[in-house]
Amino acid sequence: MALFGSARDANLIRSVNRELINRYIDTEVGFYKLNLEGTNTNIYDESDDKVYYGLMKMNSIILKDTKAVQSDDFGIDYARNATFAFLRDDLTAKNIIMETGDVIEYDGEFFEIDSTSSSEYFAGKNPGRDLGFTLGDRDEFGYSVSVVCETHVTRRNRLNIQEVRSGINKKRNDIPRNL
Amino acid sequence: MSKPELNKTYSSFNTDANAKPIAQNVDQIRRDDDVIKTPKCTIYDIDFAIMSYVSDIIQPQVYENDSLVDVPIFYANGEKWAQFQARGYMFDEKGKAMTPYIAIRRNSMADRDTLKTLGVNRNPTGNDYLYRNKHTLANRYDRFAVLQGVKPSQEYYMSPVPEFVDVSYEMFIWTEYTEQMNSIIEQIMPLNGFAWGTTWKFPTHISDYSFETVNNTGEDRLVRATLPITVKGTLLMPYELRASNLQKKYSLKRITFSNETSTFNVNTQDTPPGGWEK
């Protein structure tokens, strides 16, 4: 049985992390979870009227890359990648599961999640998958600290979250021009 | 070593001194007193025809989030300020481009195979289109002209035969969804072979449509298509060899026949002094 990394130690780390992220750093981001029941896809696995659950705000530690401007035959555009790290216990408490395709709003940009990982463990053990603990051979050790999301800035007109065009929109039931 | 002096710099049999055109009064007719516009159809006109036809006649539209959205059209690789600031509606508040949109680029231009010219140095005299102006200031009713039996002078304008070219373009279409791409293609495809343009019109053909859908990690999904477009264009430049292509000419008012006797008062009948054999 390991000498360090017990549940008591993990609680200390957990409380320090919570205080650090929620009280001192306190950088809020918005999280939009895709509503699969409300979003219909076509044969190309795409949907131009996506439905999201309501905005959820949570604290995060953010590593945002600089803008990479691209200019080619298709015009000017920019790309940016960012890494958002969340305290896993905060997400668990709010019953939030972050997955590829969900959207994070931060600093006026919308980031689509490319991948998520939760493989940062205190004392190198994830209690949920620690064989010694799950088989009942020993007490709880370790602590799964974070959920890290690798993201990229996405075009907001595809999200259907904000109204991005003004003045020219017509409802679908309007008769198209020339008919 | 000094540079040798060349006296023949053209691909001709004449020396430069003899190759220079001799100025004649008949070729020096002023153009500043007429209101005839020099006809021209330039490369810009062909580009404009294609751009304006797509943006003003086709006017592609797509549905996006239950709204009908006009698809912006622009010439590819314009200046950055124009692409970004003047077309701010294509970007969100952070500068991220919002699809869909269409960019058009001219790739190449070639003489049309079926209407190739010989390409000799200058157009031979008379190889022009001839237009007659119905009204001429010189033809005002004039009693003196009637009395003198002077015929009205016709005013002609000569324009060279235009160049017939095939201009190749590429149309880049970028949409968010494959359904939107289908919709745009469906709006453009039936117009294949039509004469595209709003002022000048040129037969336009679209060849193979190539589609590209990319979904890489770390960037947005891309749905793009490239359409090669061939335009049967006509080029008539306003100037050639630093001279206006439109030449103004007047018809002859009177043709007078005379012989040596009446012109120079030459005695052609009597034997010259000293005889013929001297």
Give the predicted TM-score (pTM) of the model. Answer: 0.80
With H, G, I as helix, E, B as strand and everything else as coil, classify residue B231. Answer: strand
Q: How far is A145 from chain B (nearest CA, A)?
A: 24
- Min mean pLDDT across A49-63, A89-103, B30-44, B49-63 is at B30-44
Between residues 89 and 128 of chain A, which touch chain B (CB distance below 8 Å)? Answer: 108-109, 112, 114-115
- Does A172 lie at the interface with B, CB-CB under 8 angstroms? yes
Q: For residue A172, is pLDDT > 70?
A: no
A-B contacts (CB, under 8 Å) = 115
Query: A47 or A174, which is more confident?
Result: A47
User: Do residue A165 and residue B63 have CB atoms under 8 angstroms apart?
Assistant: no
Which H or E element spans position A69? strand A68-72
Task: Tell me the C-alpha distance between B96 and B115, whole Å.
Answer: 47
Q: Write the single-letter amino acid at A1.
A: M
Task: Express each pLDDT in A8-28 by its tens digit.
Answer: 999 999 999 999 999 999 999
Q: Is B194 on the interface with A (CB under 8 A)?
A: no
Inter-residue contact B7 to B17 (CB < 8 Å):
yes
Burial of A137 (0-12, 13-18, 19+ CB in 10 A): exposed
Looking at residue A125, its pLDDT comes to 87
The per-residue pLDDT for A28 is 95
Q: Which candidate, B191, B162, B228, B188, places its Cα nearest to that of B62?
A: B188
Within 8 A by CB and 6+ apart from B55, the residues are B73
Q: Do B65 and A150 touch (CB under 8 A)?
A: no
B74 interfacial to chain A (CB closer than 8 Å): yes
Closest approach of chain A CAs to the CA of B74, in angstroms?
A: 9
Q: Which residues contact A40 (CB under 8 A, 6 or more apart)?
A: A47, A49
Closest partner residue to B80 (CB to CB) among A76, A170, A174 is A76
Whether A68 and chain B come into contact, CB under 8 Å, resolves to: no
**Does the pLDDT of residue A76 top 50, yes or no?**
yes
Mind listing the pLDDT tens digit for each residue in A133-145?
Answer: 888 888 888 899 9
Question: What is the distance between the terminal CA atoms of chain B, rounded to a whole angstrom?
Answer: 57
Q: B96, B178, B224: best mutation site toward chain A, by most A Cβ within 10 Å?
A: B96
pLDDT of residue A105: 95
Q: Is B92 within 8 Å of A76 when comparing Cβ atoms?
A: no
Whether the complex's predicted ipTM is more than 0.85 is answered with: no
B96 touches chain A (CB under 8 A): yes
Helical spans, DSSP H, in B115-177: 143-148
Nearest-Cα distance to chain B for A100, in Å, is: 10
pLDDT tens digit string along B216-235? 988 999 999 999 999 999 99
Does residue B22 carry a pLDDT above 80? no
Nearest CB neighbour to B69, from listed A78, A79, A165: A165
Q: What pLDDT score was predicted for residue A176? A: 46
pLDDT for position A178: 38
Q: Which residue did the predictor score with more confidence, B277 or A53?
A: A53
Assess whether the previous peptide bond of B100 is cis (omega < 30° from 0): yes
Sequence-distant (6+) residues with CB within 8 A of B51 are B73, B75, B104
Contact B76 A150 (CB under 8 A): no
Q: Residues B222, B60, A77, CA angle at the centre, nearest 5°?
A: 35
pLDDT grade for B18, boundaries at 50, 70 and 90? low
Q: Does B68 touch chain A (CB under 8 A)?
A: yes
